[in-house]
A and B are shown apart, each in its own frame.
Chain A
């Protein structure tokens, strides 16, 4: 029998399954206080999904406020709180970008989990009024040779490709990192970028009494019920029940058609407000639209088109069926709206109207099943000041300095180490992954992986473009969450600047363990503080982001992994800086190398060691380095640039050589092992023709950036460290490319 508001009054003490829906006892009682009665089963369903950690940010909110408190940025057109932030990139263009996690679904069902992760973030971007123009995927897996990684990685990669390729979105970058901690809890983050004119920005709000609420896109089915509360907001228990029914199933074709349909609707100016249906489905869309608008909405839930007619109203409200959108449309525009949907064969149904009652009311075949103040569901959920405490073992971890680890002591040993390092899973060629993604579609991809950042042209006439990079290092963040978040921010900025683009704005996806663990909460608080302070120093706004908690299996949390995305702008993409060296150019190292091996790839790959301190962060030096990279591009001083990060200078030089199929002959000052493998931040290698070298050195001096000549790029296909060793490029290439095909197969 359907549980109505009337029943709730008549039968006030009926036991309700709030715990099974993920609500704590005190949360349930707060709902009763808000409503002045017990919730109906439909109301309980809505509160349970909307008050889940995933939707309500109840544990993170008190910390995330720091992002909102950053100085107001002139480039920020829409800030935190909407589906995605929007940034002014000039010439009347606005760019929106955001990153989200789909970690747990991708572990349970790798293909669909990853695919619908792409679908969800693309709809967020579309909802802002933008045409989605690219995606990127930062990924983290358990050890490359672990049996479960063999299951998870191919499915995740195929899912990202299967969905993104079918949407016609170039995949322009991302990361693939392996680490023991992600076994049983991979990270599948998805970033999307969209572009629009300033006037085209849309917002998620239901305003104007009498305006109609239209649900359009796919029909609603039983998939993904409780995805946010059951999957995203709980820890996996070893041996627990399979949670596959909570994973959504994607249909990229419907989403592609939905994108074109929405863009046509936007162009004809047929919507007042719009919201996508993602986590928490209709519960989220209706309450958020109403809450952000004039405050009232009425919905006839029985009008929702269903894939499965047996679904109960609670299930319809919680379903996370993909490829659905909800628009608020003026009555005069409804026929035009439905005509555009008809052109694209999109199902569209008027399911409700905007009211001024201040309540969200929902009827099911004439009976009232929901009557709530929408703000209490969408925006005024519980807020927790979770206790946090510095992990007890942190001092021991930091004291375990990698200085004690054995190092190579001869040129011959360095040579062997280099070949092992470039072939190690984290440093090896990722073509096996990226070949499964379309990087060409839309015809505006100027740079894509393995370049430092993806670069997209957004105006063919003027050459205006944007660059995007994502970075994150869980080991650095484990050793020092405050510094780790800043190192990720600095690296992403550096990668954007390496292409010649000017960093403009930041998004983030904060992947952590359980917020109920005070040590994890401390990591989170420190990382957020570090990121906020970092953005303040660099003068960059945070445009939005996503928090993913409960990334742990049993008591073991992942390394804290804030993934930072940075968007940059470049006024002329024809003059971007690529990473491939060209023969006879001078190789110059910018920045300072110190003996820093804490959390380094060398310590991990060679010794399975994690300890000590991460590299020191100097954000002023990072900002100066970025300024040099951008100015050098503008003045045409450099022919190539590549940042120095994981694997140190050795990895940077090898990648630049292999990318351009040119050799290098370098002379290193001091200890060659430290010079090659230390992971000091704030560094990049650039190539410059001999005649421009003095200008480049002058530019560096003016910005206070140390610059040291390393040697030359050579036509001879050999990588040589003078006085130490030489390796033919062919040998390096074999070592670099063999790893992933050997592990994951494919012809």
Chain B
């Protein structure tokens, strides 16, 4: 069975949720520990939501230096699929695996709502199970989710089709160009602020639209 690692940092909150999502998608979740250099041979890694190390200093700024991240960064440059959700996205930006940064929401309030997104790139390791232009509903919940980057970086992201998700029906945090999630050049690393792991069951989520993140990567890994 395909094994997907979920990293727990001190202050990670959605790690068990991400593990559940992996399981529901048919994968085997593997708990990874921030202080460990080893990835135990997992086939992909999820950096879950939360407040790693309290998000003191800057969101993700300390987690980026965790031992496990050195291994993740190295493996990602060699093509390991990595998904960063919320705090995980912030860590990926701090790690320079993805460009730009996440700053305080424009309205300065934490916001939790069911958010409509447009899937704009279905060629990444984590989005191949979606249709181009598909609208999905996934919860968003953050206080520092306002995506910013220099204009030329934004232009390049757009030009290279690396904007993976865009907010539809209203931008919940003031992100530049309504960007909700992006990918790297290779398409193996994806980061987004909304929480697909909270949209995997009809019982607890606003939809099951998030499940396709995990079936995407499982499909890519099985066929590879």
**Which A residues are within 8 Å of any B CB, using their own CB?**
158, 161-162, 165-168, 251-254, 256-257, 260, 344-345, 434-446, 457, 460, 573-574, 746-747
Contact = CB atoms under 8 A, between A and B. Distances in A.
A573 B201 CA distance: 13
B203 A446 contact: yes
Contact of B54 (A252, A443, A746): A252
B136 to A, nearest CB: 15
Nearest to A343: B35
A30 to B, nearest CB: 45
Nearest to A257: B10
Contacts of B17: 440-443
B131 interface: no
- Nearest first, the 5 A-B pairs at minimum CB distance are A253-B54, A168-B13, A747-B107, A440-B198, A443-B17
A9 B195 CA distance: 65
Given A256-B51, A440-B141, A440-B205, 4 more contacts: A254-B54, A260-B10, A440-B17, A443-B204
B198 A746 contact: no
Interface string B183-224: 000000000000101101101110000000000000000000
* Chain B contact residues: helix, strand, loop or mixed: loop
Nearest to B19: A443
Interface string B51-69: 1011110000000000000
B110 interface: yes
B112 interface: yes
A158 B204 contact: no
B14 interface: yes
Interface in B131-187: 139, 141, 143, 174
A345 to B, nearest CB: 7
B204 A436 contact: no
Residue with the highest number of chain B CB atoms closer than 10 Å, among A162, A253, A437: A253
A347 to B, nearest CB: 14
A260 B108 CA distance: 29
Contact of A457 (B56, B109, B204): B204
Nearest to B202: A574
Contacts of B143: 162, 165
Range, interface on chain B: 20 to 34
B112 A439 contact: yes
Interface of B: 10-11, 13-14, 16-17, 20, 49-51, 53-56, 106-113, 139, 141, 143, 174, 195, 197-198, 200-201, 203-205
Contact of A441 (B10, B13, B56, B111): B13
B54 A166 contact: yes
Contact of A253 (B10, B108, B109, B113): B10
Contacts of B111: 435-436
Contacts of B197: 443
Given A437-B112, A446-B204, A257 B11 contact: yes
Given A161-B110, A438-B112, A747 B13 contact: no
A30 B205 CA distance: 58
A435 B204 contact: no
Contacts of B56: 253
Contact of B13 (A161, A162, A256, A344): A256
Contacts of B205: 440
A251 B51 CA distance: 12
A439 B141 CA distance: 9
Contact of A436 (B54, B109, B195): B109
Given A166-B11, A257-B11, A440 B195 contact: yes
B69 to A, nearest CB: 17
B14 to A, nearest CB: 6
19 contacts: A162-B143, A166-B11, A166-B54, A168-B13, A252-B51, A252-B54, A253-B55, A256-B13, A257-B11, A435-B109, A435-B113, A436-B110, A439-B112, A440-B204, A441-B141, A443-B16, A443-B201, A746-B107, A746-B108
A156 to B, nearest CB: 13
A31 B73 CA distance: 64
Given A168-B14, A253-B11, A446-B204, A158 B110 contact: yes
Nearest to A456: B204
